[in-house]
Amino acid sequence: MSLNKVEQLFNAKLISLEEQGMRKGNEKTVIGVKPAENGFGIRYKLEGYGDRAFLRMNSNSYLGLSLHPLVIRAEAEAVEKYGTGPGAVRFISGTYQPHKDLEKRLAEFHGRESAMLFSAAYATMMGVLPQFISEDTLVVSDALNHSCIINAIRLSLPAKKEVYAHANIDALDKILATNRGQFKRVCVVTDGIFSMRGDHAQIDKINACCKQHEAGYEEGIISIVDDSHGVGAFGRSGRGTEEVTGGKADILIATLGKSLGVNGGYVVASPVVINYLRETSPFYIYSNPITPAEAAASLGALSILDSHEGLRLLEKLRCFSTLLRAGLERLGYETLPGEHPIVPIFVRDTNKTSALVAHLFTHNILVTGLNYPVVPKGEQEIRLQISADHTEQDLKFLLAKLADFKG
């Protein structure tokens, strides 16, 4: 037995990715964090780059809670009390009090009766969506949905999959009308915030469309929303896309690893749905949960989000999002309107995107270029992400370096 033959195929694939400018390459390793000073925010030190300190504009930690003293203290105290790991999957002996407390608090935060933790948000979607799909189910998906949704649909093997043009309710309506009577059940699944662009799904309009067609399907239409980039970053109180649109998903999935600054994923829904998932989802049954300490840290982060301090941090994000978008427009860069802290720069060219990433890195700014196939051809971009850790001076510094780019 040998890997020699297959490694030749893998190496050829890696070379092809390199030639197309699509290879991600080596990951940069953070080795230290430099505190804020002189009006500038936190900076990060990277392995192999000496004393250079980088402004990070590519982090999902929108509220900066991963470095918040209360969150750190909550995790440290829980480690002392419970140890570093759960020791087993939850139904054997891996459920701890912080897991139950966090699930209760998440359900309350989202106005639901029940919640359930998973090891990651990606695992949540993979563990949830297939449990709602049978051989008689139609799945309808937004064209710009995240990889976790795409792969969960593949895993589910539905009777049929339909994709509607991004955020196009008329296209969704046509699909539901065309397929009436042909399937027992429909799952309409979408991101809340679309992670490459920072725009959002109109959950209220999706629900209205589903309600209009539900009578045509024996087992109804279920709406499933992954709002991992919305919760804690969007809406006045950080309750995400549901808060902004006034719509409510049947099944809401989100993460503990972005705005809350810790790790893990979760789903909130009715008690019957959550009890069903605990008995059927292999990503829950056969995988260790987040650690008790991570659950305690998430509880601490959620308490901050749902407080006056959280409201202040969210207002700062909105103000900085407006400031950055206005600055980009002044410089002639193409972006999208909105209040979400994901602020895209549409470059629409792979080589130019790579050149702009390199230019900013030279000036100690970390950004991530998104090229095909992560985004469609012609939509190559740099995704800027604002954090409450940033300062106005940071944004002015970023805009000045963008102004200097001659690509």
Calculated CA dihedral for residues 162, 166, 172, 178, nearest 10 degrees? -40
**Do 169 and 161 touch, CB atoms closer than 8 A?**
no
Alpha-carbon distance of 265 to 337, in angstroms, equals 28
402, burial (CB in 10 Å: exposed 0-12, middle 13-18, buried 19+): buried
Directed axis angle between helix 169-178 and helix 203-213, to 10°?
20
Q: Label the pairing between strands 365-366 and 53-56.
A: parallel
Question: Distance (Å, rounded) from C-alpha 106 to C-alpha 31?
Answer: 33
Give the pairing type, strands 381-385 and 368-370: antiparallel
Rounded-to-integer distance, Cα 76 and Cα 81, Å: 9
100 Cα distance to chain centroid = 23
CA–CA dist 198, 192 (Å, integer): 10
Question: In sequence order, what are the residues at sequence separation of 6 or more whose Cβ sits closer than 8 angstroms to the Cβ of residue 95?
Answer: 86, 289
In whole angstroms, give the CA distance from residue 44 to residue 67: 12
Residues labelled as active-site residues: 195, 229, 258
User: In sequence order, what E strands does 302-357 have?
Assistant: 342-346
Could you give the C-alpha distances from 145 to 186, 238, 336, 374, in angstroms and in order?
17, 21, 18, 11
Place of tokens 């309107």: 337
